[in-house]
Chains A and B, each alone.
Chain A
């Protein structure tokens, strides 16, 4: 065999089909006798539905069916469930208001489903949807999470007084208060972590069909986790037997978290397909996506860091209000708690930390996990505090970090996590070199000579990935396990198909996983194909999110591979007339140790399927193994980003001059794919900090409802990234991998805002720091 495949820059196997238009997305699936659905959505943020008149729509050309909340209630379809139970500070369960698939009597956000029209064509469905007459009694709305608990605020749900879902806390409050009392210096910040709209390139889509032949359903859906979708839909909403439902998530054009969840549209098209006896397809247009996809972030936080006189961190105190939107989306409850507060130690030895999180309902689209999910919010808190503290203490921002780095592992943080390993000096040192921090002063002078302001900012982030040890997750309220499944099918001629419960929607699993398999088996990578995204093919799967695929899904595959090799050794021992314990496997060959007697992998596979000469008394024929893997801990990718900006004080335009990122993702399988993931994550993080921000007005209307107003960064908004990695292998999975999908989005916002505030010489600036925001900050500074 040639060079090792782990660590090789192998071009992505999936790119040929994507780049030549041969991808097969949900909307590309058109079934015989296909029909099309269009949803009628609420134009109001908060209103009573007095009546829905569907008569005109029912009579429109091509219309096959029109369904409202009434039909859904009559059919006894359940509401959408939340997958994580948070227990509040008083030991009470969080408030879980019903989340109907089509509104029942009241709408609570713009874009909420009020009715669905199914017709012969998409245009007919949309034409008829305009004819559905809804009589609303408009109510006062509240969109801003900070106002949700105010006196007199409009109430969304009867079961959630003060619009409060829960008040939750983590950490030792008394110890934190005591440490603050003794602090030499306290740094305090009060900011909003802005709401984001995911905007996957492929909008959400679902195509449900029912077969009368065997009373079964098939749902094609743009999803990140088809098995979870099926489990939630069958067991909790529709009351269907799981074995009668197949969920296929074919090629998926991006998710970023927004396609983890079970959405009402998925349920409705599945249900309607039986009503009509025909498949029903719905594909969101971009405007619908803006108002109906789950959004991300939206925190208001007051954060404080206590230090001794030398800048050693003594304690951190964080109070956050998390806006979860109008209803609890599938994982909404755990994002601002379990995936947020547990990360507040960052890379530092801060001995005590207390976080209190209040989750509130508002008249806005539901908020759930979005690339990073809780960890970008935590990193923003920690890294903005640390950088601000350094400035206030007149210390170098890198030095204050070094002073507080965790250096002995495993390390138990005061916020529940146990870091297995890490080397934060390594990434900091490398990032400073890559960023040429030494040359910064000269560059700043050059900028000043041109009348420009220059600033430099760091973010040293940590994240918890590889979600999750099921027992830990369960003890924290998860209503599902978080293992992964994999199956390795060796074909008689020795090629391999691998079935994984992970789901690739841009991550390149078909390449990375094939590299892992081919490397372990000593086969050419072309001999291995990866299959994912179909509940009828894959034994089970928890799907892809939280940068878990390689760490959890990859490990499940490795476990199955170990079984393949173990069985192969038995077969080879028989064929070579040797003892099993003398057989070694390497480079695609089973060898008798110390001899040149060997059998190729393909020969062993062939013997397994054509078992003429075979140990039938001890072994079954065939070579197909599966495995489930439940991790023993999270993985902890970490790194340092250094960002350098130049600001035009006349206009407020910020130009990112340099971006240096050094990440420690543990072992790296395909550096090219990892770099791509880092680039994409950085782009999204930069988007959050500089261009993106969902805005609702006081009536709950989404002001940023299209690309005309919601700014996703373009290529020319971004610098040429300098990226590098350091490898501190994860200690508890066999590949030593940690995950890389979210890091960029987690670390970037703090680095960028730290750089901008440095350039402007201001303490804080709200995200997104658009030219107008930057210009205003400068005006205010001038006036002060």
Chain B
């Protein structure tokens, strides 16, 4: 790891100001992606602005229509939250599938979204539920947030403060794990919002994406058999040592079917 200056502000404004001071600064949330990159010498920020002491960035609130989760809320808090389990059980399940216990105790929702790893889990829920991302500079609709490989709509210096998830009628998440990393080879989030169905897939493309055909089929009838026969095209899907595009395309169908089954339980 290269040497860097360390800052620990106690509010979001100071954090934004500190981050803006240096062109090569980085916000630090749970450090589960950033610190690894630094240890591997792939990232070498001059300044680290630690969000750990910014108290109002963490916490979970529910008003019956939406669940709002602070950016610094750890995965473990989300998976263990009685409110989340009650309002959006699939979201609690998803958070519990991220990494291992140590990762879940450190990693945060905001960090995961800002990082936008193509195989990360949270983006599937954010897009699958049509959540709204609130930042220091405004709000982003989920449909416009994920731009590409490790690329989001966030501008330099913009800090995610919270994410609001609409509460669905029912929802399910199924993840097919990479054996080694345990990130998603394919993760499918299916949500019946009452006024329509959303299906979001992570792991398969450069970033999380929606599947219109499946949404339509499930909108007509929310049942596993509605998607079981739908073949997904492999064009443009990720292909690597662990899974070819063709295998991923196949897994999307299988995971979608199982996510619907989970949602109906």
> With A123-B3, A651-B254 as given contacts, are A703 and B241 in contact (CB-CB < 8 Å)?
yes
Does residue A695 face the partner (Cβ distance < 8 Å to B)?
A: yes
> With A651-B176, A775-B247, A776-B247 as given contacts, are A709 and B40 in contact (CB-CB < 8 Å)?
no
Give the residues in chain A near B254, CB-CB below 8 Å: 650-651
User: Known contacts A650-B254, A651-B176; can you find 14 more A-B pairs with CB under 8 A?
Assistant: A123-B3, A126-B41, A707-B180, A708-B180, A709-B180, A709-B181, A710-B180, A711-B179, A711-B180, A717-B179, A772-B243, A772-B244, A775-B247, A776-B247
Q: Name the distance in Å between A119's Cβ and chain B's nearest Cβ.
A: 13
Residue from B1, B40, B179 in contact with A771 in the complex, judged by beta carbons closer than 8 Å:
B179
**What separation, in Å, do the CA atoms of A770 and B244 have in the docked complex?**
12
Residue among B41, B180, B242, B247 with max Cβ neighbours from chain A (10 Å)? B180
Within 8 A of A (CB), among B20-67: 40-41
Within 8 A of A (CB), among B160-185: 176, 179-181
Q: Name the distance in Å between B253's Cβ and chain A's nearest Cβ.
A: 9
> With A651-B254, A770-B179 as given contacts, are A709 and B241 in contact (CB-CB < 8 Å)?
yes
**What separation, in Å, do the CA atoms of A126 and B41 have in the docked complex?**
10
**What separation, in Å, do the CA atoms of A695 and B240 have in the docked complex?**
12
Give the residues in chain B near A515, CB-CB below 8 Å: none
Residue from A691, A695, A717, A776 in contact with B241 in the complex, judged by beta carbons closer than 8 Å:
A695
Give the residues in chain B near A709, CB-CB below 8 Å: 180-181, 241-242
Does residue B86 face the partner (Cβ distance < 8 Å to A)?
A: no
Q: Name the distance in Å between B40's Cβ and chain A's nearest Cβ.
A: 7
Give the residues in chain A near B243, CB-CB below 8 Å: 772
**What separation, in Å, do the CA atoms of A771 and B179 have in the docked complex?**
9
Q: Interface residues, chain A, CB within 8 Å of chain B?
A: 123, 126-127, 130, 287, 650-651, 691, 695, 703-704, 707-711, 717, 770-772, 775-776
Which bracket fits the contact residues of B? 10 to 19
Give the residues in chain A near B179, CB-CB below 8 Å: 691, 711, 717, 770-771
> With A650-B254, A772-B242, A772-B247 as given contacts, are A130 and B41 in contact (CB-CB < 8 Å)?
yes
Question: Are A287 and B244 in contact (CB-based, < 8 A)?
Answer: no
Question: Are B251 and A123 in contact (CB-based, < 8 A)?
Answer: no
**What separation, in Å, do the CA atoms of A770 and B176 have in the docked complex?**
13
Q: Name the distance in Å between B183's Cβ and chain A's nearest Cβ.
A: 8
**What separation, in Å, do the CA atoms of A201 and B180 have in the docked complex?**
16
**What separation, in Å, do the CA atoms of A126 and B1 have in the docked complex?**
8
**What separation, in Å, do the CA atoms of A182 and B251 have in the docked complex?**
49
Q: Interface residues, chain B, CB within 8 Å of chain A?
A: 1-3, 40-41, 176, 179-181, 241-244, 247, 250-251, 254
How many A-B Cβ pairs are below 8 Å? Answer: 39
| Closest Cβ neighbor of A697 among chain B residues | B241
Give the residues in chain A near B3, CB-CB below 8 Å: 123
Q: Name the distance in Å between A182's Cβ and chain B's nearest Cβ.
A: 45
**What separation, in Å, do the CA atoms of A420 and B173 have in the docked complex?**
58
**What separation, in Å, do the CA atoms of A126 and B254 have in the docked complex?**
46
Question: Are B251 and A651 in contact (CB-based, < 8 A)?
Answer: yes
**What separation, in Å, do the CA atoms of A710 and B180 have in the docked complex?**
6
> Would you mind naming 13 contact pairs between A and B with Cβ atoms under 8 Å apart?
A651-B251, A651-B254, A691-B179, A709-B180, A709-B181, A709-B241, A710-B180, A711-B180, A770-B179, A770-B242, A771-B179, A775-B250, A776-B247
| Closest Cβ neighbor of B251 among chain A residues | A651
Q: Name the distance in Å between A482's Cβ and chain B's nearest Cβ.
A: 37
Counting from the closest, the 10 A-B pairs by CB-CB distance are A711-B180, A708-B181, A711-B179, A650-B254, A772-B247, A709-B180, A772-B243, A691-B179, A703-B241, A651-B254
Q: Name the distance in Å between A126's Cβ and chain B's nearest Cβ.
A: 8
| Closest Cβ neighbor of A703 among chain B residues | B241
**What separation, in Å, do the CA atoms of A691 and B40 have in the docked complex?**
24
| Closest Cβ neighbor of B2 among chain A residues | A127
**What separation, in Å, do the CA atoms of A651 and B255 have in the docked complex?**
9
Q: Name the distance in Å between A212's Cβ and chain B's nearest Cβ.
A: 34
**What separation, in Å, do the CA atoms of A703 and B239 have in the docked complex?**
14
Give the residues in chain B near A707, CB-CB below 8 Å: 180-181
**What separation, in Å, do the CA atoms of A775 and B3 have in the docked complex?**
47
| Closest Cβ neighbor of A704 among chain B residues | B241
**What separation, in Å, do the CA atoms of A661 and B165 have in the docked complex?**
50
Give the residues in chain B near A650, CB-CB below 8 Å: 254
Give the residues in chain B near A651, CB-CB below 8 Å: 176, 251, 254
**What separation, in Å, do the CA atoms of A368 and B78 have in the docked complex?**
47
**What separation, in Å, do the CA atoms of A707 and B99 have in the docked complex?**
13
**What separation, in Å, do the CA atoms of A52 and B2 have in the docked complex?**
23
Give the residues in chain A near B241, CB-CB below 8 Å: 695, 703-704, 709
Give the residues in chain B near A770, CB-CB below 8 Å: 179, 242
**What separation, in Å, do the CA atoms of A650 and B250 have in the docked complex?**
9
Give the residues in chain B near A704, CB-CB below 8 Å: 241
| Closest Cβ neighbor of B242 among chain A residues | A772
Q: Name the distance in Å between B94's Cβ and chain A's nearest Cβ.
A: 18
Give the residues in chain A near B251, CB-CB below 8 Å: 651
Give the residues in chain A near B2, CB-CB below 8 Å: 123, 127
| Closest Cβ neighbor of B40 among chain A residues | A287
| Closest Cβ neighbor of B244 among chain A residues | A772
| Closest Cβ neighbor of B248 among chain A residues | A772
**What separation, in Å, do the CA atoms of A709 and B241 have in the docked complex?**
8
| Closest Cβ neighbor of B119 among chain A residues | A708
Q: Name the distance in Å between A635's Cβ and chain B's nearest Cβ.
A: 36
Give the residues in chain B near A772, CB-CB below 8 Å: 242-244, 247
**What separation, in Å, do the CA atoms of A717 and B3 have in the docked complex?**
39
**What separation, in Å, do the CA atoms of A287 and B241 have in the docked complex?**
18
**What separation, in Å, do the CA atoms of A691 and B181 have in the docked complex?**
12
| Closest Cβ neighbor of A707 among chain B residues | B180
**What separation, in Å, do the CA atoms of A119 and B2 have in the docked complex?**
15
Give the residues in chain A near B250, CB-CB below 8 Å: 775
| Closest Cβ neighbor of A710 among chain B residues | B180
Give the residues in chain A near B247, CB-CB below 8 Å: 772, 775-776
Residue among B241, B250, B254 with max Cβ neighbours from chain A (10 Å)? B241
**What separation, in Å, do the CA atoms of A710 and B247 have in the docked complex?**
19
Q: Name the distance in Å between B189's Cβ and chain A's nearest Cβ.
A: 18
**What separation, in Å, do the CA atoms of A772 and B242 have in the docked complex?**
7
Q: Name the distance in Å between B124's Cβ and chain A's nearest Cβ.
A: 18
| Closest Cβ neighbor of B258 among chain A residues | A650
Q: Name the distance in Å between B7's Cβ and chain A's nearest Cβ.
A: 20
Give the residues in chain A near B242, CB-CB below 8 Å: 709, 770, 772
**What separation, in Å, do the CA atoms of A541 and B223 have in the docked complex?**
68
Give the residues in chain A near B180, CB-CB below 8 Å: 691, 707-711
